[in-house]
């Protein structure tokens, strides 16, 4: 009796089976050497956590970020010129984490945190961990220890530019310390990255802008402090700019701000969000709701009048903003509808709408 020759498919199955055995042996060898979880299949049994977020405190910025907020377990950089709202954005994240029952830490390298302002933004100041380090190495060591503890949800370091290396503090005024800060940041981020991911801690670095010397006219002379390591290790980078003033008569009561997501590893980048930062109050969510709602046709605009579901909000943007502030129930309904429309939360109503790109919302 003649034996049948093996088919191509059976040979392929045999080869595949042999490969699987070799891979299993390699995995068991790696786990024996480095411990359980050092290598895994990226399937349903994977211990790698799913992406969870903390809201930025701005609806428009949550939409621009693409996932509804800042991703946990990642490094974030918020940078921009002076008085553009960088620290305000960072404090809003802490306030949102506090709302979820999270613990936050603020490493105040600038020694300029105003606890009263933080409280007005919704930060639970009594529970906030605060450190005012003497030098850069101390600040980054504190951040590393807090991250490794795994018990802190948000850590804000304000700012990278204020991290002075110990050698510079102990040296004389006028001494040249070439690249010390950049080397310090590079070393710290190499150590931090893995533990940040494992602990699911959101680490926010606030940074300042500096000007390069000798750039050509067509080149952007702006750069950020602390070298280039932070821009590589950051999952999200946000450029914050003041684009106008908000006035009541002749009195300036706030700034109109544009936040541009210049880098995003969890969603498409280069989306913008515009919002108001009112002095003493922070981000104006009511103003955002009117702007985004009007753009999405959720809020109806007829002339100078704004209305929502047949109810008049007010004449003009400021009056409508005040109405929403005085009527939190209507404000909550409007916020829910905007979040559903933008695709950040699931539809609760029967009719379905396509998510819209509302990440760049202009004022009237």
CATH number for the domain that contains residue 312: 3.30.250.10
Q: What is the span of the domain harbouring residue 311? A: 285-345
The first and second tokens of residue 211, run together, are 């000007």
pLDDT of residue 249: 87
Task: Check whether residue 213 and residue 334 sit in a common domain.
Answer: no
Q: Is residue 27 part of a domain?
A: no
Instruction: Report residue 86 CA to chain centroid gap.
Output: 11
Q: Is residue 36 part of a domain?
A: no
Position 238 pLDDT exceeds 70: yes
Sign of CA dihedral 56, 96, 282, 128: negative
Q: Is residue 266 part of a domain?
A: yes
Percent over 70 (pLDDT), the chain: 90
> Which of these three, 261, 280, 299, is where a domain ends?
280
Q: What are phi and psi of 203, to 5 degrees?
A: -110, 120
Q: Is residue 104 part of a domain?
A: yes
Task: Check whether residue 83 and residue 188 sit in a common domain.
Answer: yes
Task: Check whether residue 190 and residue 336 sit in a common domain.
Answer: no
d(CA 300, CA 298): 6
Q: What are residue 55's DSSP bridge partners?
A: none
Q: Is residue 13 part of a domain?
A: no
Task: Check whether residue 242 and residue 93 sit in a common domain.
Answer: yes
pLDDT of residue 4: 57
Task: Check whether residue 84 and residue 206 sit in a common domain.
Answer: yes
Task: Check whether residue 212 and residue 338 sit in a common domain.
Answer: no
d(CA 342, CA 59): 10
Dihedral over alpha carbons 265, 267, 272, 277 (to 10 degrees): -80
Reported for 350-353, long-range contacts at CB under 8 A and 24+ positions apart, including other chains, are: none
Q: Is residue 42 part of a domain?
A: no
What is the domain-level CATH number for residue 270? Answer: 3.40.50.300
pLDDT of residue 364: 40
Task: Check whether residue 228 and residue 253 sit in a common domain.
Answer: yes
pLDDT in tens, 254-299: 999 999 999 999 999 999 999 999 999 999 999 999 999 999 999 9
Cα separations in angstroms, 198 against 47, 218, 229:
10, 42, 20
Task: Check whether residue 227 and residue 331 sit in a common domain.
Answer: no
Cα separations in angstroms, 315 against 60, 284, 324, 329:
23, 18, 13, 20
Query: 114: pLDDT confidence band, cut at 50, 70 and 90?
Result: very high
Q: For residue 361, give every residue at least 6 positions away whose Cβ sits within 8 Å of its Cβ, in sequence order, or none.
A: 60, 273, 274, 275, 288, 291, 292, 295
Q: What are phi and psi of 158, to 5 degrees?
A: -125, 105
Mean pLDDT of the 127-147 span: 97
> Which of these three, 280, 309, 325, is where a domain ends?
280
pLDDT in tens, 322-351: 999 999 999 999 999 998 988 887 665 434
Query: 356: pLDDT confidence band, cut at 50, 70 and 90?
Result: low
> Which of 21-35, 147-161, 188-202, 227-241 has the lowest average pLDDT?
21-35
Task: Check whether residue 316 and residue 184 sit in a common domain.
Answer: no
> Which of these three, 253, 280, 307, is where a domain ends?
280
Query: 13: pLDDT confidence band, cut at 50, 70 and 90?
Result: confident
Q: For residue 36, give every residue at least 6 positions away whose Cβ sits within 8 Å of its Cβ, in sequence order, or none.
A: none
Task: Check whether residue 289 and residue 270 sit in a common domain.
Answer: no
Q: Is residue 121 part of a domain?
A: yes
Position 164 pLDDT exceeds 60: yes
Q: For residue 84, give every residue at least 6 positions away whose Cβ sits within 8 Å of its Cβ, in sequence order, or none.
A: 240, 241, 242, 255, 257
Q: Is residue 193 part of a domain?
A: yes
Largest CA distance in the chain: 104
Task: Check whether residue 158 and residue 126 sit in a common domain.
Answer: yes
Q: Is the pTM of this model over 0.85?
A: yes
pLDDT of residue 354: 45
Mean pLDDT of the 227-240 span: 97
Task: Check whether residue 91 and residue 164 sit in a common domain.
Answer: yes
What total number of domains does the chain contain? 2
pLDDT of residue 351: 42
């Amino acid at each position: 009796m003649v034996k049948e020759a093996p088919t191509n498919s059976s040979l392929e199955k045999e080869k595949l089976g042999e490969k699987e055995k070799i891979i299993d042996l390699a995995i068991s060898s790696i786990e024996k050497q480095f411990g359980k979880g050092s290598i895994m299949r990226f399937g349903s049994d994977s211990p790698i956590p799913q992406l969870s977020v903390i809201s930025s405190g701005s609806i428009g910025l949550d939409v621009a970020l693409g996932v509804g907020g800042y991703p946990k377990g990642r490094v974030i950089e918020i940078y921009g010129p002076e008085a553009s709202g960088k620290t305000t954005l960072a404090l809003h994240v802490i306030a949102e984490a506090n709302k979820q029952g999270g613990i936050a830490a603020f490493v105040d390298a600038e020694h300029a945190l105003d606890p009263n302002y933080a409280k007005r933004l919704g930060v639970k100041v009594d529970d906030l961990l605060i450190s005012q380090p003497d030098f850069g190495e101390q600040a980054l060591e504190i951040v590393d220890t807090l991250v490794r503890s795994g018990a802190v949800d948000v850590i804000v370091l304000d700012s990278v530019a204020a991290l002075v290396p110990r050698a510079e503090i102990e040296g004389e005024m006028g001494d040249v310390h070439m690249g010390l800060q950049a080397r310090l940041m590079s070393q710290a981020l190499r150590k931090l990255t893995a533990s940040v991911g494992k602990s699911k801690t959101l680490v926010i670095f606030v940074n300042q802008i500096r000007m390069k010397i000798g750039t050509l006219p067509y080149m952007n002379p702006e750069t950020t402090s602390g070298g280039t390591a932070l821009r590589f290790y950051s999952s999200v980078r946000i450029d914050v700019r003041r684009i106008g003033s908000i006035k009541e008569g002749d009195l300036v009561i706030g700034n109109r701000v544009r936040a541009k997501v210049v880098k995003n590893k969890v969603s498409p980048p280069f989306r913008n969000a515009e919002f108001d930062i009112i002095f003493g109050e922070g981000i104006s969510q009511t103003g955002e709701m009117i702007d985004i709602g009007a753009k999405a046709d959720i809020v109806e605009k007829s002339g100078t009048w704004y209305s929502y579901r047949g109810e008049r909000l007010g004449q003009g943007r400021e009056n409508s903003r005040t109405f929403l502030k005085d009527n939190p129930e209507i404000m909550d309904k409007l916020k829910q509808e905007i979040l559903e429309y933008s695709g950040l939360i699931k539809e609760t109503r029967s009719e379905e709408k396509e998510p819209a790109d509302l990440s760049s919302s202009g004022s009237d």
